[in-house]
Chains A and B, each alone.
Chain A
């Protein structure tokens, strides 16, 4: 029977750029993403910031509704305004703000649940770096009844490091599936 390439069994290696994504690697990276989500949902923001490499670019562009002539402009560009355009230094600034105890958008804090799925790994030119695409659903509830739901895609750059977590994140591109943000603020991380 002809094999359908999109339906691979759990024991089949996936070959990308001549290198192999083994089931063990797939599981290792998925577990890393779940660990990261758990840190955010457990409000361990300092530990989460520690997972970011010193050269992290954490980026969530704006999105717009465009016609066929301008479809290439759907996402805001590298030199445009964004929802998030962060470095390690600016993430640390956000962390320090949260730690004051008077950052009212997160005091009392939100309840969040980061669901991560559709994990697709690609190898890169560097043996210790991977590009990982995933889909997310982020549920945020705060105060009495405020509930926000964000869906989208993340494209992460992961670098293998000699730490218990196994990886650091050096790139995160977040595409939110909304044009007008349906929330009063983004005081949480994706």
Chain B
């Protein structure tokens, strides 16, 4: 790896041996390279379509560490641009969301329209003799969407979003496509800080069914979540791209009731599930499905929590989570999902609060020099044969495997060892004629 001090890429992740060098979670040089080679060229989740339904509706978010603004345009499209004034780099939008007619930098007053075009510069006539405003709009990202989710990338050479997700895309359907009406986001994006590396969270959602029984045992018991007989379950490793998912195939319609602690009057979980099964077949009954679309978009089906693990240095993430529901669900079903999602997957969630505990402790241990160079074991499921399921596409290992984790790190390593190409050029860096 040209710009790094490691001798061999396989020093960082050795797929054949099934070992991970923990330095990848803690080394500042690796993190810097990730911002360039992973985050600047992958497709990153921005928002749900219904977060910004009307022209001028906007949402401030991040692509990696870069702040961006996503804005609904008058033609119905969405623009995503860097939240950075082209004059001296001040944020041009300092609020979390709402509706805007324009974005005005509060430093010197450069104003941008909702498309990110520079439209007004104070004292332009008298002091900027040769400013070509067309050349100085906000940096535009490339935007694509899939079944209601908006993604963006800085990589102008990237494949389409559908091609990027490849054979993993079908496994998003358990949350995105249960009804012909599509989905809507329930209001509110929950944001919190966890002092851990982003890959701990992303890999767990891609691959780790294993931790559930132990980490979440306390809520499995008290919310009476069936743990047997679940069978072996399935784990799917995308053929490329680093995506992964795991689940059991079983109907547990009462999940949202037992985890909320109560049933909203009028909620009929069986009817609710039958409608989805009629549309998706077995794919509507993926129980405790966890999934990551590489690098940082993860979701947990059933509670329909979607989130991005925004990296904040090697040792910290911000989790941005929201919940989606079928547009045509009954009011009772929406309320049941809202309560069960809030009470299970959020910083206070009875499932999620224990995840944060694990990742924080791991990261703290990695302050140690010896800890950082003591390999981690990721061998689970190696040597195990792949199987097929007549009702589900692709090949699987059993749910208790780390095949998807190995796929995640193999793709990560591929990106980290490939220099970034032309797309890294930062677009319209125009020179004003002197």
Contact = CB atoms under 8 A, between A and B. Distances in A.
Interface stretch (A24-32, A36-44, A67-75): A67-75
B188 A81 contact: yes
Interface stretch (B90-98, B165-173, B374-382): B90-98
Contact of A90 (B96, B97, B192, B261): B261
A161 interface: no
B416 interface: no
B218 A104 contact: yes
A141 interface: no
A108 to B, nearest CB: 11
A66 interface: yes
Interface in A152-190: 179-187
Given A70-B99, A77-B187, A93-B350, A180 B357 contact: no
A181 B95 contact: no
Nearest to A67: B95
Contact of B357 (A62, A82, A87, A185): A185
A80 B353 CA distance: 20
Given A93-B223, A102-B217, A104-B358, A79 B191 contact: no
B95 A85 contact: no
A14 B80 CA distance: 55
Given A69-B99, A103-B218, A87 B342 contact: no
B219 interface: yes
A60 B343 CA distance: 12
A149 interface: no
Given A83-B347, A90-B261, A97-B222, A105 B353 contact: yes
Interface stretch (B18-26, B133-141, B266-274, B333-341): B333-341
A5 B342 CA distance: 43
B424 to A, nearest CB: 29
B186 A80 contact: yes
A85 B343 contact: yes
A179 B192 contact: no
A181 to B, nearest CB: 4
A181 B356 CA distance: 13
A105 B354 contact: yes
Contact of A179 (B96, B217, B323): B96
A134 interface: no
Contacts of B323: 81
A98 to B, nearest CB: 8
A99 to B, nearest CB: 8
Contacts of A82: 188, 342
Contacts of B222: 93, 96-97, 100
Contacts of A183: 192-193, 347
A88 to B, nearest CB: 9
B190 A73 contact: no
Contacts of B352: 185
A122 interface: no
A83 B189 CA distance: 10
B156 to A, nearest CB: 31
A97 B350 contact: yes
A56 B120 CA distance: 53
Contacts of B96: 64-66, 179
Q: Output the residue of A62, A86, A103, A105 with the most chain B CB within 10 A.
A: A105
A80 B342 CA distance: 9
A90 B260 contact: yes
B59 to A, nearest CB: 10
A180 B318 contact: yes
A100 B222 CA distance: 8
B66 to A, nearest CB: 17
A80 B356 contact: no
B218 A184 contact: no
Contacts of A85: 338-339, 342-343
A143 interface: yes
A113 interface: no
B254 interface: no
Given A81-B338, A97-B219, A185-B347, A65 B95 contact: yes
B132 interface: no
A46 to B, nearest CB: 14
B261 A89 contact: yes
Interface of B: 94-100, 186-196, 215, 217-219, 221-223, 260-262, 318, 322-323, 334-335, 338-339, 341-343, 346-348, 350, 352-354, 356-361, 364
Given A83-B347, A179-B96, A187-B348, 13 more contacts: A62-B188, A67-B94, A76-B188, A83-B348, A84-B348, A90-B343, A105-B357, A180-B318, A181-B193, A181-B347, A184-B193, A184-B195, A187-B357
Closest 4 CB pairs between A and B? A70-B98, A80-B187, A81-B188, A90-B261
Interface of A: 60-62, 64-67, 69-70, 73, 76-77, 79-87, 89-90, 92-94, 96-98, 100-105, 143-144, 146, 179-187
19 contacts: A62-B188, A65-B95, A66-B98, A67-B94, A70-B99, A80-B188, A81-B188, A81-B323, A83-B342, A96-B222, A103-B354, A104-B218, A105-B354, A105-B356, A181-B190, A181-B192, A185-B347, A187-B353, A187-B357
